[in-house]
Amino acid sequence: MNLSVLISELTSGMLVSVAIFTLTLLFSLPLGLLVAFGRMSKNWLIRWFFKIYISILRGTPLILQLMVVYFGPYFIFGIQMPRNYRFIAVIIGFVLNYAAYFAEIYRSGIESMPIGQYEAAKVLGYSKSQTFFKIILPQVIKRILPPVTNEAITLIKDTSLAFVISVQEMFTIARAFASAQASMIPFVVAGVFYYVFNFVVAYTMEWIEKKLNYYR
């Protein structure tokens, strides 16, 4: 087995995994906040809509959701999607799934804030939006960083599920090499790549958490 070729191919697959990870966080974090707002809405119809959304997305396997997003347009609506839709489907599936998890994390953080902070902000003349974005949200971010870090680490490993619709991320490439060479070495090398990726993300999140220590 040519180790340099293996590392080169896994590196290209790693870049796809990093792209999936980055785009998922980029879109699912703000979407999760919007879903959390919907989940806490005083309008029962909106509240139950997002409650059902969260229940379905958290209660069914991500791998199944990816298949529905990819095959759904054709089998349900008869729409033939372009060739590059595979990667787009992966991002859509991951974003919708992780937004549901982040929504509950946001909700727990927001609801844990003392009511006195809202009352004090009102006395000081802050509007509701100013109170939330200037006073509440920064503290919520500090509180929810540990569970968000856990989800981010899980997301790194979940990128391997993109193989189900034949997206050539790192695990898919490692599996192909292992099958062709009848060797475990590709999986071992891929494991090292995943570990380094996880280490970098965990270290970065820990650094951010320390930077927010002034909210204690």
Q: What structural domains and CATH numbers belong to the chain?
A: 3-215 (1.10.3720.10)
CB 163 within 8 A of CB 172: yes
Task: Output the average pLDDT for the chain.
Answer: 89
Query: What whole-number percentage of the chain has pLDDT above 70?
Result: 98
Which pair of tokens denotes residue 91? 């991002």
Q: Please tell me the predicted confidence (pLDDT) of residue 61.
A: 95
| Range in 67-81, 101-115, 119-133, 149-163 with the lowest mean pLDDT | 119-133
Residue range 100-111: average pLDDT?
A: 94
Report the alpha-carbon distance of residue 97 to residue 66 in Å, rounded.
Answer: 9
Report the alpha-carbon distance of residue 166 to residue 176 in Å, rounded.
Answer: 11
- pLDDT tens digits, residue range 31-77? 999 999 999 999 999 999 999 999 999 999 999 999 999 999 888 88
Q: Please tell me the predicted confidence (pLDDT) of residue 214.
A: 58
CB 201 within 8 A of CB 153: yes
Residue range 175-188: average pLDDT?
A: 84
* Contact partners, residue 100, CB within 8 Å, separation at least 6: 32, 35, 53, 54, 57, 58
- pLDDT tens digits, residue range 131-168? 888 888 888 888 899 999 999 999 999 999 998 888 88
Q: Please tell me the predicted confidence (pLDDT) of residue 105.
A: 96
| Range in 1-10, 18-27, 126-135, 171-180 with the lowest mean pLDDT | 1-10
Report whether pLDDT(172) > 90. no
* Highest mean pLDDT (candidates 23-27, 158-162, 186-190, 196-200): 23-27
